[in-house]
């Protein structure tokens, strides 16, 4: 005869159930070991619930020659121990934690935790990163990755519904895709290879292959010894590339729609919880996003009292913060496209303006004071590409494989690359990428 098996119920699913027998499992959050009753707050991946166990009177147990083994087990529980409990679900509005409790009938300690935990609520971030699996048990930190999941799913849904093709480009390459200065060189059988800094070349290959519209969400690697709050040596890049564009405006319009869809999904699913745990009101951006040419943005910043140190350089972090403050004041917007970058500070494959070849059809997207995206219309004419390669002091023959993409007919195209962790960091008002990266990699961190 088969016995009745009670399946585990997620804590978030307890409240709608009628009173009756349930089984829950999770980590011990707190124990209140009182003389007549014991309380345990149990937390699983979905929430927390109060468990209760009345103690059997000691004299009654003694008369029967018995020991209250469950009471002893509860008394010995350390924070973080993983237990499975079967008991009676009771609805009681007096219970502060959700108006429900589970009265313990059986308790199994599946995995006891060491009594002294290595991190605490006030531990520094480096210590917390050392013990990241414990750090991620905190509901606030776990929420980050639920938000990330929703954000990515919404972007994929946007693309798939519009007939984009998802690609998975190689992360081991024979040569640089951006700058030789930021390459990780690795042994590759009898020779050497490099970790991909960007899927750029292969995104463009897909346009020459006739894919039309593609996207990828995948890791990239930058050998950049930066210790800033917004840099990592490995991060997740969100990339898209589309054919038949008239200018970078088409790319910007696509990215606006994409972000509106993704932010809408986050607000609808997590907005209230983000407010509760982060005290942040995530807002869905309105379209169109403000657009400011880079030269004009630098003038605006200078009028606000800050001069970007090099006139021929990109906007620096303080400049980004200043132009974002201006846009917030003037337009009430958290996003701004900075456009028309000088060719001297853009890659060779960015297309130039016909009426001013010193300017590129490119942009950076600034969100809450920090750059999250670089995008552009790409140059698809092979003779122009060769000339721009030489202009950058490079040799076309060293990029022969890339140039081959354009020797057999390629449509006009453009795209962008966006840092996923930067978006999450800025959305949730976190101080650095480490907080919103599952396992951060930087110049001095390779573990866990």
Q: Which residues are annotated as a binding site for L-aspartate?
A: 178, 222, 374, 378
In angstroms, rounded to a whole number, what is the distance separating the alpha carbons of residues 423 and 417?
12
CA distances from 334 to 142, 226, 266, 283, 289 (A): 25, 26, 16, 9, 9
Interatomic CA distance for residues 141 and 43, integer angstroms: 14
Task: Give the whole-angstrom CA distance, residue 88 versus residue 268.
Answer: 34
Write out the binding residues for ATP: 371, 419-422
Residue pair 362/379 in contact by the 8 Å Cβ criterion: no
Annotated binding residues, written as ranges, equal 178, 222, 371, 374, 378, 419-422
Query: Measured between alpha carbons, how far is 128 from 169 in angstroms, rounded to an integer?
Result: 33
Give Cα 344 to chain centroid, integer Å.
31
Identify the burial level of 57 via C-beta atoms within 10 angstroms of its C-beta, where 0-12 means exposed, 13-18 middle and 19 or more buried: exposed
Q: Number of helices (H) and strands (E) in the chain: give both, helices first.
A: 12, 16
CB environment 99-124: b (16+ within 10 A), e (fewer): ebbbebeebebeeebeeeeebeeebe
């Amino acid at each position: 005869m088969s016995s009745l098996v009670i399946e585990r119920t997620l804590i978030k699913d307890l409240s709608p159930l009628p009173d009756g027998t349930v089984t829950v499992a999770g980590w011990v959050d707190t124990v209140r070991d009182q003389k007549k009753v014991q309380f345990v707050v149990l937390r699983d991946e979905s929430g927390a619930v109060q468990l209760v166990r009345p103690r059997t009177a000691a004299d009654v147990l003694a008369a029967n020659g018995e020991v209250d083994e469950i009471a002893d087990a509860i008394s010995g529980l350390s924070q973080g121990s993983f237990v499975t409990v079967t008991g009676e679900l009771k609805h009681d509005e007096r219970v502060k934690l959700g108006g429900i409790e589970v009265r313990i009938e059986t308790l199994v300690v599946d995995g006891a935790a060491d009594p002294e935990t290595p991190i605490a609520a006030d531990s520094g971030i480096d210590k917390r990163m050392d013990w990241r699996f414990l750090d991620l048990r905190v509901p606030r930190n776990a929420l980050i990755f639920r938000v990330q999941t929703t954000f990515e799913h919404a972007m994929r849904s946007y693309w798939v519904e519009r007939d984009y093709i998802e690609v998975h480009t190689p992360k081991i390459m024979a040569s640089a895709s951006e700058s030789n200065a930021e390459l990780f060189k690795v042994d590759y059988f009898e020779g050497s290879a490099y970790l991909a800094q960007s899927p750029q070349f292969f995104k463009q290959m897909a346009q020459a292959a006739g894919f039309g519209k593609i996207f990828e969400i995948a890791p990239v690697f930058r050998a950049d010894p930066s210790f800033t709050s917004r840099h990592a040596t490995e991060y997740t890049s969100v990339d898209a590339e589309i054919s038949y564009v008239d200018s970078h405006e088409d790319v910007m319009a696509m990215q606006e729609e994409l972000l509106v869809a993704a932010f809408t999904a986050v607000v609808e699913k997590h907005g209230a919880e983000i407010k509760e745990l982060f005290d942040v009101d995530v807002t869905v951006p309105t379209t169109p996003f403000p657009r400011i040419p880079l030269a004009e943005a630098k003038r605006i910043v200078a009028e606000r009292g800050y001069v970007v140190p090099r006139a021929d350089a990109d906007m620096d972090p303080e400049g980004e913060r200043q132009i974002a403050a201006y846009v917030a004041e003037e337009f009430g917007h958290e996003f701004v496209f900075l456009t028309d970058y000088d060719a001297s500070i853009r890659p060779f494959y960015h297309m130039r303006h016909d009426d001013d070849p010193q300017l590129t059809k490119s942009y950076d997207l600034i969100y809450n004071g920090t750059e999250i995206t670089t995008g552009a219309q790409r140059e698809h004419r092979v003779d122009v590409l060769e000339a721009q390669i030489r202009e950058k002091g490079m040799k076309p023959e060293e990029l022969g494989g890339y140039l081959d993409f354009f020797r057999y007919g390629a449509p006009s195209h453009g795209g962008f690359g966006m840092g996923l962790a930067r978006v999450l960091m800025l959305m949730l008002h976190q101080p650095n990428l480490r907080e919103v990266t599952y396992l951060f990699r930087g110049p001095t961190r390779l573990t866990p």
